[in-house]
Structure 1
Amino acid sequence: MSQRVLSGMRPTGQLHLGHYHGVLKNWLELQHQYQCYFFVADWHALTTEYRNTKVIAQSVWDMVIDWLAVGINPGEATLFIQSRVPEHAELHLLLSMSTPLSWLERIPTYKDQQEKLKEKDLATYGFLGYPLLQSADILVYKASKVPVGEDQVAHVELTREIARRFNHFYGREPNFEKKAKDAIRKMGKKNAKLYKQLRKSYQEHGIDEALSTGQALVETLQNVSLGDKKRLLGYLEGETKTILPEPEALLTPTAKMPGLDGQKMSKSYNNTISLREEPASVEKKIRTMRTDPARVRRTDPGSPEKCPVWQFHQIYSNEVVKSWVQNGCRSAGIGCIECKQPIIKAILAELAPIQERAKRYIEEPESVKAIIAEGCEEVRAAASETLEEVRQVMGLMYR
């Protein structure tokens, strides 16, 4: 089975070009390369919108429609809503019992968000614990890769530490070493010899490549049970069984989509173009964008690097058009309205098929709900397996 990728977004309503270029275009590629789980993080929305919950439900469906409209394919990826899978909350609770408070307080975004959202009271238990809920989101599906930007790597590293701590506490089953050695004998002589060499290289010499090669070897074994595979992986790494695998950060390119004012495109800056923006509105927004302040008159030369419109050309225009902009702006050979026309044309061309698909989904809300219901059912089966194992190793099975 291909590696599992997990990614989610807070429901903020209809999405804009920043979401499309910053996240969704990456999802469109990932869905063909991995087993992808994409989820609506509605519980995470509550950490900052706990006083304004009425907007969340509509925001959820608006966001899912936009996912489908850009081409996220439920035949390739699994889409679901976080709160429809209560195992997220149970694992979050169980992990909270052993997670040090200091680990949560040191997450960079914890203080950053409190600073940015001063108008909201974020001195809450839920907000402090949201990085742990993110970890539970990942670990409940044993996701091997999590697509993130550089600013989110700390969250994945926290998840790795939490998994490591959990495995250390609860992966020490009775007679673990004997059972692991029994599992090695089941590998066959050739694989067993290679496994022992790789384990020695990693544990005695710290060769990380030996660890990854050993893990790949174990995953390919056909005649070994799932329980024995976990013992072999744990024995390879140390003396414990791997219950919650440590995920890896899958670094994604930094979003380059600027807003209409040159800042990052964001609803909070009121500088967005939504994926369902009317063509007339798109044209008006681009035509009224501010430009290089040096170009007061049509005959004044300008510098493209000082103009927010140039940032759009870097995304939407080919080399010929960009050269035309550079020469025409610096020589005052073209006016700002002329410069903006290729951008208007490119954005409208990009949005047309998205809006056509969105219209179909808006007219068939039951089909959208059916896609989500099916996704929730699928992922809940996977989450239930993890929770059953977690309860078992924690001694919470009372049969």
Structure 2
Amino acid sequence: MPNPVILTGDRTTGPLHIGHYAGSLRNRIRLQETHEQYLLLADTQALTDNASDVAKVRDAVLEVALDYLAVGIDPAKSTICLQSHLPALAELSMLYLNFVTVARLERNPTIKDEIRARGFGRDIPAGFLCYPAAQAADITAFRAGLVPVGADQAPLIEQTNEIVRRINAACGRPVLVEAEALIPEAGRLPGVDGRAKMSKSGGNAIRLSASADEISAAVRRMFTDPGHLRAEDPGRVEGNVVFDYLDAFEEDRAEVEALKARYRAGGLGDSVIKRRLEDILQALLAPIRARRAELARERGYVLDVLRAGTHKAQAVTRDTRNEVVTGLGLFRLCAPEMVAKEANPDAGGKDLFTHA
């Protein structure tokens, strides 16, 4: 039996941070041993709210790819591919938009929350509003049965499956497979300021490529318990960012629980728990930082990885697109030689991978 297919990935809006590592990257390293895993560099999706800064999205492609490889994503086990270079995804997105209403897109809880958070009002980029259909295209094109997402993203998987059922009904047979959301036990890490989730744009994240000094500075300014003024005072663990991070990264669970008990009872200063956390983060990120710096000097290798992964993904997604349009009866409108030519496209022309 073939390994179950997983689709995951990240928007290319900047380098990744330790929140990505805790929430998804370390899980992807484990899953690549047991699943057929595709990692999508979602540059097209990143444009839905970054169209005014295309350069940022373009430049972040290599940044995210470097982070993937530095943490241990193995291109021999996981396929890393570039969304904008997979034309079948755009074609499927357009098809799927005919099987969903604007009202249903607007009711999607994930989209509603994101629209509110970004303050779009009614000035919503059309691509952003239509993201559920585009994500459905991504998931179904790779025939992914599992999609690792946070709990807040589960409504997108539900809407994907609604579209799958409508397409299958229109085709009269099960052309597409439904996907299951794979929700991690750990929630999202808060930012070091304790006021919001950690984000690349919020200035409250620790990048995977952070220097030793940057890690130290970030830990020093971490939000703890504002009422814990002296070491002997009882402190609150809930909402204390340092303990959130210890929960995420300290492997000795018994030690974390012992520290929490001492902090609650009084007698444990913030400097002690911050020092413990800094030691853990320094040990975690030092080899990632070194490997990333080494890979950054091997741009040709990184581009080769993206090229090979994207070419493999082009074939997979094109096959799914062909099955969908055939199931819908649309290939009857196409000359057979057009289909044959697409299966062996011209190698000429330039793309991202040929740039110096």
Letter in 1 for 2:177: P
One-letter code aligned to 2:19 = G
SS of aligned partner of 1:72:
coil
TM-fit CA distance, 1:97: 2.5
Secondary structure of the structure 1 residue equivalent to 2:25: helix
- 2:185 alignment partner AA: P
| Counterpart selection for 2:241 from 298, 308, 315 | 308
Question: Do the aligned residues in 2 keep the contact of 1:304 with 1:330 (CA within 8 Å)?
Answer: no
Q: How does 1:264-279 map to 2 (within 5 A)?
A: 264-279=197-212
Contact kept in structure 2, 1:131 and 1:155, CA below 8 Å: yes
Which of 221, 224, 228 pairs up with 1:295? Answer: 228
Which runs of 5 or more residues in structure 2 are unaligned?
336-356
Return 5+ residue gaps in structure 1 as ranges: 172-240
Q: Determine which of 248, 251, 270 is the counterpart of 2:183.
A: 251
Distance in 1 (alpha carbons) for counterparts of 2:66 and 2:15: 8
Q: TM-score, normalised by structure 2?
A: 0.86
Q: Which amino acid aligns with 1:155?
A: L
Could you say which residue in structure 1 is the equivalent of 2:272? 338
Identity %: 35
Give the equivalent residue in structure 2 for 1:72. Answer: 73
**Equivalents in 1 of 2:131, 2:305: separation in Å?**
27
SS of the aligned residue for 1:123 comes to coil
Structure 1 position 90, deviation (Å): 0.8
Structure 1 residue 321, shift from structure 2 partner: 5.6
What is the aligned counterpart of 2:258 among 323, 329, 338? Answer: 323
> Where does residue 354 of structure 2 map in the other structure?
none
1:380 equivalent to 2:314? Answer: yes
CA contact (8 A) 2:17 2:206 kept: yes
Q: Which has the larger radius of gyration?
A: 1
Count of residues paired in the alignment: 329
Distance 2:239 2:92 in 1: 50
**Deviations 1:22-63, CA, capped at 9 Å, x for gaps:** 111121121111111110111111111111212111111101
2:236/2:263 contact within 8 Å kept = no
Q: Which segment drifts farther, 83-92 or 26-35?
A: 26-35
Cα distance in 2 for residues equivalent to 1:379 and 1:310? 40
Looking at structure 2, the residues matched to 246 and 393 of structure 1 have their Cα atoms a distance apart, in angstroms, of 17
C-alpha RMSD of the superposition: 2.1
CA 1:163–1:292: 2 relative to 1, 3 Å: closer
Distance (Å, rounded) in 2 between the aligned partners of 1:163 and 1:149: 21
In structure 2, distance between residues paired with 1:155 and 1:370: 32
SS in structure 2 at match of 1:52: helix
Q: Is the 8 A contact 2:186 2:248 kept in 1?
A: no
Q: Per the alignment, do residues 361 and 168 of structure 1 end up closer, same or farther by CA in structure 2, a change over 3 Å counting?
A: same
Residue 21 of structure 1: CA displacement?
0.3
Contact 2:208 2:289 in 1 (8 A): yes
Relative to structure 2, which stretch is displaced further, 63-72 or 116-125? 116-125
Matched residues in 2 for 1:30 and 1:365: separation? 26
Q: Distance in 2 between matches of 1:354 and 1:121?
A: 42
Report the Cα offset of residue 381 of structure 1.
Answer: 0.8
Work out whether residues 38 and 77 of structure 1, in 8 Å CA contact, stay in contact via their aligned partners in 2. Answer: yes
Equivalent residue, structure 2, for 1:91 = 92
Residue identity opposite 2:308 in structure 1: E
Cα separation, 2, equivalents of 1:243 and 1:328: 56
- In the TM superposition, what are the counterparts of 1:98-247 in structure 2 within 5 Å? 98-118=99-119, 122-171=123-172, 241-247=173-179
Deviation per CA, 1:52-96: give whole Å up to 9, x if none.
Answer: 212111111101100111111101110001011111001111222
Shift of 1:297: 4.2
